[in-house]
Amino acid sequence: MDDPVLAALERDEAYTVVKVLAEKPSGVTELVQRTGDTAFYVRKRISAEIANPDAWAQLAAIDNPHLPRVIEAYALPDAFATVCTYVEGFSVAQLVSARGALDAAQAHAILTDVCDAADALHARGVIHRDITPTNVIVASDGAHLIDLGIARVGDASARHDTTTLGTWGFAAPEQYGFAQTDARSDVYSIGCLAAYMLTGIRPHEAGFEAALRSLPAAIRSCIEKACSFEPSARYGSARELLEAFHEADTVPVRRGGLPARPVRALIPSRVSLSEISIAWRSAGVLKKAAVLFLLLIDALFAWGMYSSVGDINAAAPLGWVVADILMKVALATCIAWALIDALLAFLGAGPYRVASRRAVLWRKRVVPVAVITIAALFTISFVATALFGPAPQR
């Protein structure tokens, strides 16, 4: 393996694409798996012009619990590819759009983690440049700052950034090309993020100013300072911003930052069968056995219900027969539901915590299939009973 291009291509082909997460002119982001490994990774192909190998060399050396870990980075002839660990959870944008503004304790917990992550980056001279609600993922072990795609190493000699990147409303003014970006550009974005979490409104949307005024004065001035137009008027670092926040916010910090109850609106609406099969393949032997056992019990129960439909006396009034069937259907559905909930718990993330996507897949597919199957069995047995009389008695 002497040729570097072939070597890079070989590294690239060690992964199989599970799903394309985003496709933009600047690059493609994919959810990938390594052959023979159940873990998920995020592979990002960044077009050669905007890729920043220096920043990635720095990122690879960072080990912070609130940042994705860089598995590898390699150059292909037309792109720079990076592979990072995948963080499963919901983004701050999803949380806020599902439930409105977050409570102060939760926002504070998320902010603490984000500032910690930003500090770790800044300590290495790397600027994230795209700290937005969609790039902060809230998982069971706290908030994670993801998407290091446009991160760059600060270069004191350049007068201003040559490329304008970032997210409208959250990117600092200097990111539009007025001046060189530095750690204070990230401070600006974190200030906007804090405001968004507490008000539920994006900085460029109508009503933002009014919502900001409704916040406690100490917190408001903290956000305003972080989001000053002039970088020198902002906090000097993410750590400073966080300390100011600690002083302004008297509510005790709650670690973890996860909502206690399930959030219905967060459940993805579309689930594909291939994702189910991936969830299945990535489950351990014990989980698989448990799931099969529960499904078997479910099937036996459904069969028992089915074969007892004929027990009703054929001479009984029709109303009785219908009531009997409806009751059994309801009972079977409840039990099937309970079994599937147990199954989800076995899979590692039941609906009683914030459901992880993988568990949601099961709920979205398995529950309707079970309910429809049971209902179909009963309909068939009912029609059969009506046509051919009661089932033969043992």
Partner 1 sequence: MGEERLTDELLEQLLASASPEAYLAQSGIADRSFTDYLNALLDEKGLKRSVVIRDAGLDATYGYDCFSGKRVNPSRDYVIQLALGLRCTLLETQRLLRYARRSPLWPKIPRDAIIIFGIEHGRTRSQVDDDLFRLRRETLVKAE
Applying CB under 8 A, the residues found at the interface with partner 1 are 3-6, 9-10, 13, 76-78
Which residue pairs from 169-177 have beta carbons closer than 8 angstroms and sit at least 24 positions apart in sequence?
Answer: 169/202, 169/203, 169/204, 169/205, 170/130, 170/131, 170/132, 170/133, 170/196, 170/202, 170/203, 171/129, 171/130, 172/231, 173/229, 174/231, 175/129
CB of 10 to partner 1, least distance (A): 4
The smaller minimum CB distance to partner 1, of residues 77 and 392, is found at 77
CB of 76 to partner 1, least distance (A): 7
Would you state the structure tokens that stand for residue 360, as one six-digit string?
Answer: 């949601």
CA 305 to chain centroid, in Å, comes to 39
The smaller minimum CB distance to partner 1, of residues 1 and 260, is found at 1
Would you state the structure tokens that stand for residue 229, as one six-digit string?
Answer: 């137009």
- Listed in sequence order, the residues at least 6 apart from 226 whose beta carbon sits closer than 8 Å to its beta carbon are 187, 188, 190, 191, 194, 234, 235, 241
The smaller minimum CB distance to partner 1, of residues 50 and 76, is found at 76
In the sheet with 27-34, reading across from the earlier edge strand, the strands are 15-24, 27-34, 40-47, 79-85, 70-75
Helix (H) or strand (E) holding 47: strand 40-47
The smaller minimum CB distance to partner 1, of residues 11 and 239, is found at 11
Contact 115, 239 (CB under 8 A): yes
CB of 13 to partner 1, least distance (A): 5
The smaller minimum CB distance to partner 1, of residues 9 and 60, is found at 9
CB of 27 to partner 1, least distance (A): 14
CB of 291 to partner 1, least distance (A): 30
| DSSP state letter for 281 | H
C-alpha distance from residue 294 to each of 136, 250, 297, 349 (Å): 36, 48, 5, 16
Which residue pairs from 257-262 have beta carbons closer than 8 angstroms and sit at least 24 positions apart in sequence?
Answer: 257/106, 257/109, 257/110, 257/113, 257/138, 257/142, 257/143, 258/138, 258/140, 258/353, 258/354, 259/95, 259/99, 259/106, 259/354, 262/351, 262/352, 262/353, 262/354, 262/355
51-60: buried (b, 16+ CB within 10 Å) or exposed (e) per residue? bbeebbebbe
Q: How many helices (H) and strands (E) does the chain have?
A: 12, 10
CB of 51 to partner 1, least distance (A): 16
The smaller minimum CB distance to partner 1, of residues 59 and 79, is found at 79
Using CB atoms within 10 Å of the CB of residue 23, give its burial: 0 to 12 exposed, 13 to 18 middle, 19+ buried.
exposed
CB of 49 to partner 1, least distance (A): 15
The smaller minimum CB distance to partner 1, of residues 16 and 308, is found at 16
CB of 35 to partner 1, least distance (A): 11
The smaller minimum CB distance to partner 1, of residues 36 and 319, is found at 36
CB of 33 to partner 1, least distance (A): 16
| DSSP state letter for 8 | H
The smaller minimum CB distance to partner 1, of residues 18 and 271, is found at 18
The smaller minimum CB distance to partner 1, of residues 15 and 86, is found at 15
Say how far apart CA 317 and CA 167 lie, in whole Å: 68
CB of 24 to partner 1, least distance (A): 17
CB of 277 to partner 1, least distance (A): 18
The smaller minimum CB distance to partner 1, of residues 3 and 49, is found at 3
